[in-house]
């Protein structure tokens, strides 16, 4: 079975730019990612850093310009003026600039790959923020439902206490539990407000322009690749590895260039000279001799940069393989829990409904009712947390495999079109 992505179980919202401020259309995860690719500051920063890095590479590797000189001598004397017009043309006899240009090509690959990795990290951060906002939104709904239910029970028990059917202690206990539920609701609302503010910041929009968050439903979890296939795939798909490989090639070319840089550019000179009324030509060659400055410092720096690039490449390769194995393990664990976790919310609501009915009819005690209410709230909260963690595990697996996050489409893994994976 080939890896395929599954659609979200929430309605797809259009980007915020099309929704407008105050739109009631719910913001889905895919819509948040789409919007972030347009206005998200994290992705814009990644693009800007790419331009900066490529500009620095090009700046270092530019070819030296020729120099044109016009000079007039013997001013203020009885002698006829000497007039010089000379062109100085530097040229690289050691091939240093050619090596620097090769380093520049690798440097551009490094900068592009680093930017791609940074963009994917920013997308995953936005997905986490959306999941937190959706999770806290669901927690607010659960807390509101429990607060409403316990407030009704407290009201009924207050009336029953006045009529002598229950003790004052029971009425006080139900009122206490109702007040605790109201406090839980207030805390949940505060967490949701903070989550929305963080999501709005990552999307690059004002908090007031953020529409309601779509419902958090459990994702379908397709079978993951086996460990061997995953390790093979990440070597070719993770931009971090491509960046560090390019960094090593860049450092190697720079070291070769600095080894040739003991002797600087030669300068070919040519021009005209007018002296004593006669026009003559001139030609010359300027050759620097490496007597005092032999580029030792630059060679040492280049050796250090190469050692650093190789160490970073090895570290990234180890880290990427560990990352994908950890993502697979987390994904498998949450996927195995799907049959049970998917019904937590429904079973929790059923337990609460039965307990409320039994309490009203006098077949259950107050402690049994409160225990059922807490069990129901915990079950529904656990269902929400599992759904959020399952989405996050799937997105982190896509990220670990080097795929572009696309929750409504197939995984962007062209290598897998010809690779079979275990079901």
The answer to whether 234 and 415 have CB atoms below 8 angstroms apart is no
Mode of pairing for the β-strands spanning 278-286 and 266-275? antiparallel
Nearest residue to 9 (alpha-carbon basis) of 142, 193, 145, 134: 134
Asked, for residue 11, whether it belongs to a domain, the answer is no
- The Cα–Cα gap between 223 and 328 comes to 10
- The secondary structure of residue 67, as a DSSP letter, is E
* pLDDT at position 13: 34
- The secondary structure of residue 155, as a DSSP letter, is H
- The Cα–Cα gap between 91 and 266 comes to 6
Asked, for residue 370, whether it belongs to a domain, the answer is yes
Containing structural domain, residue 122: 16-418
The residues pairing with 275 across neighbouring beta strands, listed in sequence order, are 278
Asked, for residue 281, whether it belongs to a domain, the answer is yes
CATH number for the domain spanning 312: value is 1.20.1600.10
Structural domain total, the chain: 1
Asked, for residue 9, whether it belongs to a domain, the answer is no
Asked, for residue 71, whether it belongs to a domain, the answer is yes
* pLDDT at position 413: 39
**pLDDT tens, per residue, the chain with 423 residues:** 233 333 333 333 334 444 433 445 899 998 998 899 889 999 999 999 999 999 998 888 788 889 999 999 888 888 888 899 999 998 888 888 888 889 999 999 999 999 999 999 999 999 999 999 999 999 999 999 889 988 988 888 888 888 887 788 888 888 898 999 999 999 999 999 999 999 999 999 988 889 999 998 888 788 888 888 888 888 888 999 999 999 999 999 999 988 888 888 889 999 998 887 789 998 999 888 888 888 889 899 999 999 999 999 999 999 999 999 999 999 999 998 888 877 777 888 888 888 888 877 778 787 888 888 888 888 888 888 999 999 999 899 888 888 777 665 444 333 343 333 333
Asked, for residue 2, whether it belongs to a domain, the answer is no
Asked, for residue 10, whether it belongs to a domain, the answer is no
**Long-range contact set of residues 370-376: C-beta below 8 Å, sequence gap at least 24:** 370/173, 370/177, 373/146, 373/149, 373/150, 373/177, 375/348, 375/351, 376/146, 376/348, 376/349, 376/351, 376/352
Asked, for residue 1, whether it belongs to a domain, the answer is no
Neighbour count for residue 4 (Cβ, 10 Å): 12
Q: Quote the pTM value.
A: 0.80
């Amino acid at each position: 079975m080939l890896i395929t992505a599954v659609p979200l179980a929430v309605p797809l919202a259009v980007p915020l730019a099309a929704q407008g401020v105050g739109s009631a259309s719910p913001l889905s995860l895919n819509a948040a990612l789409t919007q972030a690719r347009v206005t998200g500051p994290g992705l814009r920063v990644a693009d800007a850093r790419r331009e900066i890095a490529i500009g620095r590479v090009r700046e270092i590797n530019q070819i030296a310009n020729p120099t044109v000189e016009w000079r007039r001598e013997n001013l203020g004397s009885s002698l006829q003026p000497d007039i010089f017009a000379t062109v100085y043309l530097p040229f690289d006899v050691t091939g240093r600039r050619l090596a620097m240009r090769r380093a520049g090509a690798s440097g551009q690959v490094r900068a592009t790959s680093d930017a791609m990795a940074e963009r994917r990290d920013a997308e995953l951060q936005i997905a986490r923020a959306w999941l937190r906002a959706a999770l806290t939104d669901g927690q607010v709904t659960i807390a509101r439902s429990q607060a409403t239910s316990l407030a009704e029970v407290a009201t009924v028990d207050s009336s029953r206490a006045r009529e002598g059917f229950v003790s004052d202690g029971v009425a006080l206990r139900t009122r206490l539990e109702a007040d605790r539920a109201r406090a839980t609701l207030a805390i949940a609302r505060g967490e949701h407000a903070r989550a929305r503010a963080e999501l709005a910041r990552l999307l690059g929009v004002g908090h007031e322009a953020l529409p309601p968050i779509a419902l958090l439903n459990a994702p379908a979890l397709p079978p993951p690749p086996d460990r061997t296939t995953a390790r093979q795939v990440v070597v070719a798909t993770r931009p971090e590895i491509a960046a560090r490989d390019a960094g090593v090639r860049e450092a190697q070319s720079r070291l070769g260039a600095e080894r040739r840089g003991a002797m600087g550019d030669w300068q070919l000179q040519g021009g005209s000279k007018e002296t004593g009324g006669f026009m003559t030509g001139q030609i010359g060659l300027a050759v620097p001799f490496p007597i005092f400055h032999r580029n030792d410092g630059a060679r040492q720096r280049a050796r250090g940069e190469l050692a650093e690039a190789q160490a970073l490449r090895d570290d990234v390769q180890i880290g990427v393989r560990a990352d994908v194995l950890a993502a697979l393990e987390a994904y498998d664990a949450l996927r195995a829990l799907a049959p049970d976790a998917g019904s937590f919310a429904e079973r929790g609501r059923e337990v609460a409904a039965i307990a409320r009915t039994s309490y009203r009819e006098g077949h259950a005690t107050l402690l049994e009712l409160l225990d059922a209410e807490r069990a129901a709230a915990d079950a529904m909260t656990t269902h929400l947390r599992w759904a959020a963690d399952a989405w996050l595990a799937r997105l982190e697996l896509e990220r670990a495999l080097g795929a572009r996050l696309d929750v409504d489409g197939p995984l962007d893994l062209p290598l897998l079109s010809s690779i079979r994976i275990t079901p």
